[in-house]
Each structure stands twice: as structure tokens, then as C-alpha cells.
Structure 1
Amino acid sequence: MLDLQQTRRDTPGCFERVFLDSAGSSLPPTPVLDTVIGHLQREAQVGGYAAAHERLDDLAAVKSSLGRLLGVDAATLALSDSASRAWTSFFYAVPLRPGDRILLSQAEYAANAVAALQRARATGASVETVPSDGEGRIDVDALRAMLDERVKLVSVVHAPTNGGLVNPVREVADAAHAVGALVLLDACQSVGQLAVSVPELDVDALSGTGRKWLRAPRGTGFLYVRPRLIAELEPAMLDLHSATWISPDSYELAPDATRFEMWEADVAARLGLGAAVDYLLALGIDAVADAVAYRAEHTRDGLARIPGVTVRDLGGPRSGIVSFTVDGRDPQSVRDELAARSVTVTVSHRSSTLLDMSARRLDAVVRASPHYFVSPADVDRFLASVRELAQG
């Protein structure tokens, strides 16, 4: 069980407001802040190269910590500046040709869909959508009916950005692998709030971000690649870090997932990512997952009792993302009026999850995402504020 008071002391910003936007960009704990600021101060003293050289072991440990969290070897991990960069670095390395098929989930995030459409246009492949079942999750039976040897990649969003849905990743992976398709998991909204084990999910690649539930700095992300695929795939972009220039007309790719990285990076932010993962590991992901689930259900239950408020979450069990609308109020005005009451939420727009939101005839929803440092009193204060808005 988590020590709520200690986690709140480690999160000074949570005393100034009710913070319910960890699905957007969470509040980093003090050890993360100290790590980042400390390294920037060192860069100011000795320069960026020297400061980075002093922390080579710590930088290597970032992957080791991520590996412990995900259940994989550090050599299968690449660091990036975002989940989108990590996702696309793998996706653009998968060979495609005319007639190949790319399958997306109906809850696909816009950045992934745009990349898939661009590659399909360039290669002659096609992009198709797997229907959702009655609870909003990927319909695995419908997926099986769509699969054949032409399907090269199935993209799965683990926890969609616009609500509490959690997709059945392992069932999707088993079905896709039966026809030789690769599975790319967008885990940017799941790592840090759910227990995510790559061996249990059996995906071929996984992308994630630091700034959300991991509580790391912005500008950090990571990619896992199945070991056998690393040697088979060449990223679309290379530099002197991902490959070595060995003769005037040849180069050699890095033997591990480093081939999916680029040389330049925000070293302070990456050290902060490591500190954030270590902080989470010390707390225990199972304890964190339980705490997030409890706060999210408290939030949903309270919202459902307010006349004029509709909870928009689908599926079950659900993630820590809570989506809702208020009758007669556009989501942006709800967000802004809550901000005036020192309550931080955000809005998820139809353009971010076009297929799902269009199917449900929603233009936007208010999104609240309480992390483990949010107290029950914070949730009650949020609910009281929403009740005031709903009553006009």
C-alpha cells in the first residue's frame, strides 16, 4: 500500500491545485526534478559533453530500469524524445509493398493513423480498421476474420487517450502471429499506471512516453523491439550513433536496439526518465495500479451521480482515464471553469481519435486522469466543482 502523504510531499504541485491530467503530462516527483536540474547545473559548469561523459553509467542504467519495469533486456530498448517518435521509428522500418495490409484499431491515436496513411500512400499498402466490440474494445473475432498472409502489421493502442478503455492485447497478438503479422503496441497511456509485461503481452514492439503516467520530463520516450527483429529491420533514419561508418561507401548498423536511436538527446531529461522509473519501481507497479484504479473508479462513480453529467468511458476493467461530458456545456468551457477553481483537467478532441469519436458522435470529452498522488479529498473537491457547473 502506498504512503499517500509521502507521495504528496514528493509532489509539491499537488498542494496548489487538484491535478487530474497525468494522461497529458503529469507532475514529476521531486527526485526527478532534482535529477534534471542537477544535471543542467553540471552542464553549465563543465559543458554538455563532459557532463554526459560523467553520467555514462547512469545513462545506461535508464534502459536497465525500463527493462525491469517491462520485463525485457536493456539491449532491446531504444530511447527517444517521444512515444510518437518511438512508434514511427519502428513502423517506418517494417518493409511494405503494394498489396500489403496495415490494420489499425478503431481507437487509434491520430499520430499513428497519419503515419500509416502516409506509408500506405507511398508503398501501395492499404490501411484497414478492425471493428470494436459492444464494449468498445478491439473485436478479436472480427480481427481473426480479417487476417491473412497479406497483413504485415497490426497496431494496437493499449489504453486509448479519450477514455478508460483497455484493449485485449495478448488476444490480438496471438491472432496476428498466427498469420505472421507483427504487433506494434502503443503503450503511452498504460506504462506507469498499469502493470505492463512485454513477455505476457507477447508484442513485437512497444512504444511509450515519459511525460504521462511515468511522471518523467517531457521530451522522453522509449521503444522495445523483439530481439529477433532487431537484426532484420533497418530504421528509415540513421546517424553515427545508430550506425558506424566503416568505409567510404558502407556503414554497419548497431547490433542492438540502439539502431533505433539518434545521437543528439536531452541528457538531463533522459536521466530524469531513469529517476522516474526508479521511483515507480520503488513504489511497486502493482500498488500504483491499484491506487490509480481506485481513484478513477471513485471519480467515475461520483460523476455518474451528478445530474446532467455523462461518463463516456467504455470497456472493463478500465484504465485511470475518466472521460465525461456536461449537458449544455462544451468541454472546453468545463475545462476552463475548472481551471479557474484550481482544478486541472484537459479535453480530448475528435481529431485525436477520429474513428472512435465519430462512431460515438462525440466532438470532444473532458478528460480527468487522477494519479496515485491525488487524495480522496482532491477527488471530492473536483466532483463538487463539476456539480456546481452542471447546476448552472
Structure 2
Amino acid sequence: MSSNYKWLLAPFGAGELYIDKKVADELEPPHVGWYSVGESVESRPSKAMGPGPYRLAPGGRRFEPGNLSYFSVYGLNRCLSFLQKLGLSEIRRVTFRLRDRLLEGLQEIGAKILNPLDEKHLSAMFFCAFDKIDGAELAGRLEKLRIIVPARNFGESSGLRVSPYFYNSDEDVDRFIESVRGLLR
């Protein structure tokens, strides 16, 4: 299952669900609608959701209860085209360079990075905490500076979830680090 509004930059309302064909017919969908029943509206409209028992459609269609969000699907398609033009390797290169810059700068000012730093487990998103300030308080102060970063708890620690992406700049990263530095004084 996936949502598209974060890393794919798409509008809300569309997502993907992959289910292996070997088990799809064994699973019960949480919602049933006119697309998910065995008799489709296209083939026999009067039978699609009539009274009486119904039979779920085979395969993945049983998980599609109603009309597609065409706006969301169109938006997703445009976003995928945009990202494809940029290229996954370029997006990754820029994103991880920004992440490394953030990690270095934040550790220099006393951040504790709360998730593994080995390349095998490290993504662009990471959690950091500071001894001098609670994550929610720091996030609130940063918001007043028009820097939006969510506070999160990570075990016993309260910190920030930081997730740079290719559309961020070196200036964004430097401003973030310097703002945190100023708030820690």
C-alpha cells in the first residue's frame, strides 16, 4: 500500500495497493461497492448492487469499491512524468547530499541522531533530539520562523523528524541548522 502525496508530490486521493494474485481472492476488502462485486456495472448494471447476496469480483478489483478519483490519478500521472524527467538517480543524489549536510550540521550543534546511520538502514528521513529542548517546543519555535518540521517521539526521546527532499536547497539546510543553533542558545 502506498500514498502518493509525500515523496511522489501527487494530490491526495490516489494510492496503490499490491496484493499477490495467489492470495487476492482469499482476502476480504474492508469496504464493498459497485466496482468490487462480481457483476460489474458495465456488464450487468441491474445486478451490480441489487438486493440479495453478492459475489466479490476476482483479483484486485474486489478492493476498488467505487469510482476512481480521476483528478488524483491525473495528478499522479503528471507527477510521475515530472519525477521521471528528473531521474531517480538525480533525485537520490541531491536528496542524500542534503541529508548528509543536515546530519553533519546538526551533529556539530549537539543533535543526537536517533536512528541508525549506516547506509544499509539510513534513508533521507531521520530523527534527531537535543538535550536542551523538547521536540514539540523546538518544532513550535521553528514554525514561528516559517520552518515546518514535525515533532516526534522516538522511544524515550522527543525530537524532530527531518526529511529533506530534492526540492530543498543548501540555503534551506543552512537556514534550518542556523535557526536550530539560535534556538538552542
Please give the TM-score of this superposition, normalised by the length of structure 2: 0.82
Which residue, out of 138, 143, 158, partners 1:339? Answer: 143
Q: Deviations over 1:32-73 (max 9, x none)?
A: xxxxxxxxxxxxxxxxxxxxxxxxxxxxxxxxxxxxxxxxxx
- Provide the secondary structure at the position in 2 that maps to 1:343: coil
Contact map agreement 2:127 2:160 (CA 8 A) in 1? yes
Superposed, which structure 2 residues align to 1:5-44 within 5 Å? none
> CA contact under 8 A between 1:210 and 1:220: conserved in structure 2?
yes
Amino acid in structure 2 at the alignment position of 1:333: E
Q: How many residues align?
A: 174
Distance (Å, rounded) in 2 between the aligned partners of 1:220 and 1:334 = 33
Letter paired with 1:286:
S
SS at 1:271 equivalent: helix
Residues 299 and 322, structure 1, Cα contact 8 Å, conserved in 2: no
C-alpha displacement of 1:374: 0.7
Specify the alignment match of 2:79 in structure 1: 276
CA contact (8 A) 1:242 1:262 kept: yes
Structure with bigger gyration radius: 2
Aligned to 1:329: 133
TM-aligned CA deviation for residue 375 of structure 1: 0.9
Specify the alignment match of 1:195 in structure 2.
none
Alignment deviations for residues 138-183 of structure 1 (CA, whole Å, 9 cap, x no partner) = xxxxxxxxxxxxxxxxxxxxxxxxxxxxxxxxxxxxxxxxxxxxxx
* TM-aligned CA distance change 1:348 to 1:220, over 3 Å: farther
Task: Give the RMSD, CA atoms, in angstroms.
Answer: 2.1
Q: Is the 8 A contact 1:313 1:323 kept in 2?
A: yes
| Distance in 2, Cα, partners of 1:315 & 1:231 | 41
Among candidates 101, 113, 137, match of residue 298 of structure 1: 101
Partner of 2:11: 217
Alignment partner, residue 259 of structure 1: 62
Structure 1 residues 254 and 277 mapped into 2: Cα distance closer, same or farther (>3 Å)? farther
TM-score computed with the length of structure 1 as normaliser: 0.41
Match of 1:230 in 2: 24
The alignment partner of 1:235 has SS state of coil
Unaligned 5+ segments in structure 2 are 40-46
Q: Which residue of 2 aligns with 1:311?
A: 113
Matched residues, percent identical?
28
The one-letter amino acid paired with 1:335 is A
Match of residue 175, structure 2, among 352, 367, 381: 381
Deviation of the 1:299 alpha carbon: 0.6
**Within 2, Cα distance between the matches of 1:241 and 1:228?**
21
Higher relative contact order (CA 8 A, sep 6+): 1
Letter in structure 1 aligned against 2:118: G
Structure 1 residues 239 and 383, CA gap change in structure 2 (3 angstroms): same
Matches within 5 A, 1:117-266: 207-245=1-39, 246=47, 249-266=52-69
1:285 deviates by 1.9
State the 1:227 CA deviation.
2.2
In structure 1, list runs of 5 or more residues that go unmatched. 1-206, 350-356
Contact 2:136 2:152 in 1 (8 A): no
Deviation at 1:383? 0.9
How many angstroms apart in 2 are the aligned matches of 1:248 and 1:219?
30
